[in-house]
Each structure stands twice: as C-alpha cells, then as structure tokens.
Chain A
Amino acid sequence: MKNTTKFTSALLCCSILLIFVMLLSLRFGADHIATATVWSALTNPHASGLDQQIIRSIRLPRVLGAALIGAALAGSGALMQGVTRNPLADSGLLGINAGAGLMLTLCLAFFPKLTTVQTTWWAVVGAAISACLIFCISTARNVQLNPSTLVLAGIAISTLFTALSEGLALVLQLKQDLAFWCFGGLGAVSWSQLKYLGPALIIGLVLTLLLSSQLNLAYLTDDNAKSLGKSLPLLRGLALGCVIILSGISVALVGTITFVGLMIPHMSRWIVGSDYRRSLPVTLLLGATLTVSADLIARLVNPPHETPFGIIISLIGVPCFIYLARKESTHA
C-alpha cells in the first residue's frame, strides 16, 4: 500500500515538474518574450508575429526534443542495467555513442558537405553497426546472449571506436568541429528532424514501457525465467533493439550525454523501489525533466551563447545523485 502511494505521488510530482519546466523553457530564452505571447503562440494558430514564430518554430521543437531525448536516454539506460545486471551499464556499453561518433568523424573527414539531417542519419547507422558488431561478438560462442560477455564486448568495441575517431580527429585536425558534438547540445533540433525522428522515439518509449513488467524477470537467472515460460535471451534481444532505436537517435541528435542514462535509473529506483513497472515510468519522466531543465539553464547562463549542456546536466545531476545514493545506502 505504502509503495503504491509513493509511486503515485512520485509520478504526479515528476509530471507536474516536467510540465512546469517545459513551460518555463518556452517562456525564457535569448529573446525576451512576454508570457501572453507564448500563450497566444500555443493556442491561436493564426497568431503569426515574429515572437510567435520563434516560439513555434524554434523553442517548441527544442523543448519537445529535449523531453523526448531525455526520456529516451534514461529509458535506454534502465533497459541496459536490467538486461546486463550491471549497475554501471548504460547505452554507451552497446557502442551507441562510439559508433555514432566514429561515423560522424568519418562524415566530417570525408564528406564535409553533408547537411545536419543527413549526418544525423549516418550517426544512427553508425550506432546500429556497432550495436550489431557487439551482438555478433557476444553470441559468437554461446548461442544465448550472456550478460557479462555483452558488457565486455561492449566495452571493447566502444573503446576501439572511440580510439579510432580520436586518432582520426587528431591526425586530420578535426578536434574543434567534433568538440560541440562531444559535449552535447540541443540547439540543432528542428521540426524537420523531429518530423521523422520524433515518432520513432515515441514508439521506442512505448515499447520500453511495455517491456517494463517483463524486465523484472531479468532479476532471475536464465533457467528460472525459462521455467516461468519466458525466454530471457529473447527479452534481452527486444530490450537491446529498443536501446538502439532510443539512444541511437538521441545520440545522433544531441551528442554524447552519459549522465542521464547511467544515473537517472538509479535515482528513480531509490525513489520508488526496484520494481521496473514502477521505476521505468518515473525514470522516463525524470530523464525528460532533467534534460529540459539543463537545456533551459544552458541557454540562460550566458545568453546569447549556449553553455555546453552536458556540463549543466552533470552539475545539476551529480549532487542530486550523490544525495540519493547516500540516503539509500542506509537502507538495503
């Protein structure tokens, strides 16, 4: 009974917080826009002043993008931790970041004329390629997917690809161009990208929520799950598919943001407990909230320049994380 109350209130608080920071995000930015104007831009489709234009075509996609991406990164982190049974796992372990990064480096090095949207697609391809490679390695010997091999193979491929892109960037003098991508930023998110990638993210998020009750099985051993009529390797495959969609797209859009995927799932577990049916929805909401607020702060610290937003995420997130970690360690 107590847990359910806790869950409902956590869910409610997070939703309210998310809506609140999203509205704040629309209201504040480099340009000063009155609250009334924001309201008219959202409610009146015929209002077409410059400010309404800014709200609708720049801020709105950015805020929606931030929320979706935050939820996607946090959700894929939770899936990875469940599937690998390793508390340090995140989507980076599937080589998503490294694969996307390598592809981006190759694009910048050899096809500098590609548009941002095209580069994004290539980054998704890069993420998928490295994820497939990791799959192949970890299933090469055992027919079934073994979590510990997966983690190690993921580390190996990620490190290899990161080193390759770092080496290429150094030899070809690309460091400056890549720097922004490495620290992450939402400035480039536009309707033209969200049109295609937004629905994909939403599908991925819904799938993740559908998997949440199954994910509890990952606490069991393979044999226990089998005796319950469930196949853990199949579940792992499904979850990893979700992770590729969610974090592949996110990373391609906003760059490497490690904190959200690693920390948010732990924070929500500490708040509502380790049952995935409860912790996953909270994870998604918390991830979205953190990302939207970090993006807002990144725009406000030093306008009109944007502070790299990965930094803001760490600076807000880490103290919260450590506070919760300390609080939690007295239990258990």
Chain B
Amino acid sequence: MTKTTRFNSWLLGLGAILVVLAMINLNTGTMALGPAAVWQWLTGRGTATQTLVLLNFRLPRIVLAIIVGWALALAGNVLQTVTHNPIADPSLIGINTGAGLAVMLLIIYAGTSTSLGLAMPLVALGGAWVSTGLIFALSYHPQRGLLTNRLLLIGVALSGCFSALMVLMTLKLSPDNYQFVMNWLAGSLWGTDWSYIGWALPWLLVGSGIILFRIPVLAAFTLGDSAAQSLGVNLKRQQLLLVSVAAMLAGVSVAISGGISFVGLITPNLARRLVGSRPRYQLPLAGVLGSCLLLAADTLGKLITTTTELPVGVLVALIGAPYFIYLLIHGTD
C-alpha cells in the first residue's frame, strides 16, 4: 500500500510543480503575464494584447514542453525496459541524428529554414523513421526476432555515421542556416505554433495510449525475456511493437522540438529511484517528470537570458544531472 501512496503523492507533487512552473513561465519574457493577469484573462476580462501573447506565444510553448517531455520520457522508459539496459535512450537508436540529417538535406535543397511550415516536422519525422527502419532491418533476425542488444549497438554505430555525414554537409550551409541546424540538434523547442502541436498531438496520444495499454506486458519484461515468454508474451511481436511505438513517440517529439537527448535517458532512472521499477508506477511518473524537466529547462532558459537562445537540451542536462547525482548518492535503490 505504501508504494501506491508514494506514487500518488509524487504524482500530485509533480503536478503542482508543473502548474507552478507554467505560472513562472507565463510571468517571464518581454511581456510578463503575472498570476493576476492570467486570472483576468481566465475570467474573460483580459485585454486583446494579453490574449494574443498568452494564446499565440506562451501557451503553445508550455504545451509543447509538456507533451514533448512526456513522450520522450515514455519512449526512453520503454526502450530501457525492453532492452534491459538502463542507459538506452531514443537518441541512441539514431532517431535524433536521422531526423537531423533529413532536416539538413531539406535546408540544403529547399533553401531557407524560416518558410518551410509543416514540411519541416514531416521531413524530420521521415528521417527519424527511415533511420529507425534501417536499424530495425539490420538488427532483425529471422528466427529470433529483434536482437535488442544488437539494436542498441547498431543504433549507436549508424548514429555516428549520420552525424559524420552531417558534419560533411555543414560545409554547404550558410552561416544562418548552420546556426539554425546546430540549435535544432541541441534541442530548441522550435515548433511553438498551434499547427505543429495540433499535428503532433494525435500521434503522441495514440503512442502513449498503446504503451499505457501494454503496461502488463512491460511488467512481464522486467522479469526477464524467458519468464515473459512463458507468461504468454509473444516476445518477437511485442519487442517489435514496443520499440516501434517508442521510435514513433521520439521521432514525432524530435520533429517538433529538435534533438533533446537527455530526457528519455534520465527520467526513467529518476522514476525508478522514486517509486521502484513497476511499470505501472514508473511509466506515468517518468512521463510527468519529463514534462516537468523540459518545462523547468525552458523557464530557466528564459530567466537566464532573453537575448541569446540557450538550447533547452543543454538546460535539461544542467537541471537534471545534479538531481540525478543527488538521487544516486541518497536515493533508494
């Protein structure tokens, strides 16, 4: 019973933190929207400018951070459970670099980075999926299904290959575009527009749904592959399905937010140290932690500097890593 209580209180606490972070986020930037202003707007007495800033600039960014953080965390958690490797991460299986390579090709052949609209996330998603597909094909064994260890290794190798190609291609980019691509790779939460969010949301909802639906299967995976199979889990099929869904979640996230690599790695490990390794508790908590982490990073970025854009990926690491180290030293194991 204590485990459930613990999970519930963490979930509540993190929910509260998320609200507070959102309020702070609203309150920072060139036009501050304090709690009073938000309340005014909520009760229908806001000015037109307030409405514009809130609806078109602040809110999409907050929503983006929340959904992307959630999706990356879930993807990371699924990969770690299925591969039995605590340092597996979506960026490891070539999702970030595949998407980055595609974006770079698009920019080289289609010109500027500003006027591409929805073509950009679509191309990024395409790149992410092509690279994932390639890695799948290379690590699939006709008899034994997806070889998960091999999947990670080949992912890392191909990822290295893609980034090498990207470095070669940077020579062809104009300085402006170069800067954009570099920021994109470091994770910049750039898709802050309702149309991007509207495009990504259905994918993320379906993906999260499938994963939450499979929590009992993921739980069986924590007992080991043989035990899972003898409990009626069709290993080949479930591995393929779960890893594909994780790749889909991560691919869509990367498409609208750039290459944020640390969230998927750290949040499942944080969640495990807080509530243990039962997927029933670990997965949702990791997801909420992901949202919190990304929103906190974005807020901090806005508080530190409004002139130079610090990639949110860098800030995620600056916030997440110290807390993780603290938990490694003091947390439960």
Residues of A within 8 A of B (CB): 86-88, 137-138, 140-141, 148-149, 151-153, 155-157, 159-160, 162-164, 166-167, 170-171, 175, 183, 258-259, 262-263, 266, 307-308, 310-315, 317-318, 321-322, 325-326, 329-330
Contacts and interface: CB of A to CB of B under 8 A. Distances in A.
B328 interface: yes
Given A87-B152, A156-B324, A318 B161 contact: yes
Interface of B: 85-88, 92, 138-139, 141, 147, 149-150, 152-154, 156-158, 160-161, 163-165, 167-168, 182, 186, 262, 265-266, 269, 305, 308, 310-311, 313-318, 320-322, 324-325, 328-330, 333
Contact of A152 (B138, B152, B269): B269
Contact of A166 (B87, B154, B157, B314): B314
Contact of B325 (A87, A137, A183, A259): A137
Contact of A329 (B141, B269, B310, B315): B141
B321 A318 contact: no
Nearest to B186: A166
A171 B318 contact: no
Main SS at interface, chain A: helix
B190 to A, nearest CB: 16
Contacts of A322: 138, 154, 157-158
Contacts, number: 128
A166 B187 CA distance: 12
Given A160-B321, A318-B157, A167 B328 contact: no
Contacts of B167: 183, 308, 310-311
A148 B277 CA distance: 15
B184 to A, nearest CB: 14
B150 A314 contact: no
A164 B154 contact: no
B320 to A, nearest CB: 8
Given A156-B321, A160-B317, A160-B321, A311 B138 contact: no
B1 to A, nearest CB: 27
27 contacts: A86-B87, A87-B152, A88-B85, A88-B156, A137-B325, A141-B329, A141-B330, A151-B86, A156-B266, A156-B321, A159-B262, A159-B266, A160-B322, A163-B314, A163-B321, A164-B318, A266-B153, A310-B167, A314-B163, A315-B161, A321-B153, A321-B157, A322-B157, A325-B150, A326-B138, A329-B139, A330-B141
Given A163-B321, A170-B310, A171-B310, 9 more contacts: A88-B88, A140-B329, A149-B328, A152-B87, A153-B328, A163-B315, A171-B305, A262-B156, A321-B154
Contacts of A312: 164
Given A310-B164, A322-B158, A160 B152 contact: no
Contacts of B85: 86, 88
Nearest to A175: B182
Contacts of B305: 171
Contacts of B317: 159-160, 162-163
